[in-house]
Structure 1
Amino acid sequence: MRNFRLDDESGQQEALFSWAAYNTGRMPELEYMHHVPNGGKRDAATAIALKRQGVKAGVPDICLPAPRGIYHGLYIELKAGRNTTTAKQRSWLDYLRQQGYFTAVCYGWQTAAELVERYLLHTGQLGEPGQTLGKA
């Protein structure tokens, strides 16, 4: 894996998706894991256009559309440093959990990778959905 700037969420996501690419042979479903680019700073015109196109605040960062056990798929809100979830992010995570998805807030790409691996290979060891994992 290449070096990533791990002090922000974008670097954490790059590291996670690099890990996923490396592990696709072992877990083929990782090919379909994707980032939902709803966050980030944009100029006003772009933000307005994206909102008209369906971008919604609070949608979790990462989606893995692979059912396991009783879950329809996995959604992860990836955090770095001292960032915390917003009210809209918590609302989305609660809604998705109610709809049968496994959801979690993960601090750091390693924590997210461990969760993805548990979800795909050891579903019985997941614990309860809606956890916050890896926060110091």
Structure 2
Amino acid sequence: MTTIRKRILATQFAAKQLEAVSAKKLTKVAKKLLPTEQQIQNAVMDWIRLQKFNFYLIKKRLSLIDYAWHTPNGGSRNIIEAKRLKDAGVLSGVPDITIAVPSRQFHAFYMELKSSKGKLSPAQIKFAHNMKSVGNYYCVAYSVNEAIEFIKAYMGDMLCTAQ
């Protein structure tokens, strides 16, 4: 079993174990076991790296990772770097994962990842509205499994790999 597959399975297993415990019963130790947004991000991108798809205009299998990326907008930055990035066109509220493959219904796929208690910022809500208003797919996932299900639903029968 590959390292990527092991990491995906470990994150999914931990999430399933903790889903069974009610939020009120979570101890401090158990709360530390909940996957962070970064761990969810890594596992989802690992899963994407394993996927192949058929696009109706191209007669060969393509790697999904060649059409998907993470936009690293989050994190703290010093004032000078933040201004430099803003001047360069960095947009607040851009979601974590973009898949630039049109589906039968949408132009592109945007997914924001959140930990179990994460909430969308006003900038993220605005971005979601803007993308949906021009025919793009936008979703928010709170676990690896949920993120994978959103991608599978979006890609539909284009996906070749059932992992």
Max Rg structure: 2
Separation in structure 1 between the aligned mates of residue 75 and residue 52 of structure 2, nearest angstrom: 27
Separation in structure 1 between the aligned mates of residue 72 and residue 140 of structure 2, nearest angstrom: 16
**Counterpart secondary structure, 1:103:** strand
Which runs of 5 or more residues in structure 2 are unaligned?
12-32, 54-60, 159-163
Asked whether 1:42 is paired with 2:77, we answer: yes
Shift of 1:27: 6.5
- C-alpha RMSD of matched pairs (Å): 2.2
Asked whether 1:65 is paired with 2:126, we answer: no
Matched with 2:51 is 23
* Pick aligned residue for 2:121 from 82, 86, 93: 86
Q: 8 Å contact 2:108–2:137 — kept in the other structure?
A: yes
Separation in structure 2 between the aligned mates of residue 20 and residue 12 of structure 1, nearest angstrom: 12
Residues 1:76 and 1:108: Cα distance change in structure 2 (over 3 Å): same
Q: 8 Å contact 1:63–1:73 — kept in the other structure?
A: yes
Matched with 1:51 is 86
Whose helix proportion is higher, 1 or 2?
A: 2
TM-score between both structures, scaled by the size of structure 1: 0.80
**Matched residue type, 2:136:** Y
Separation in structure 1 between the aligned mates of residue 113 and residue 49 of structure 2, nearest angstrom: 18
Separation in structure 2 between the aligned mates of residue 33 and residue 109 of structure 1, nearest angstrom: 16
**Matched residue type, 1:90:** I
* Pick aligned residue for 1:110 from 145, 149, 155: 145
1:42-88: CA deviations, max 9, x gaps? 22221111111111111111111111112001111111120100111
Matches within 5 A, 1:109-128: 109-122=144-157
Separation in structure 2 between the aligned mates of residue 74 and residue 36 of structure 1, nearest angstrom: 13
Runs of 4+ in 1 over 4 A off after TM superposition: 3-6
Shift of 1:20: 0.8
Matched with 2:37 is 9
* Identity across matched positions, percent: 30
Residues 1:73 and 1:45: Cα distance change in structure 2 (over 3 Å): same
Shift of 1:30: 3.7
Which runs of 5 or more residues in structure 1 are unaligned?
124-136
Q: 8 Å contact 2:48–2:64 — kept in the other structure?
A: no
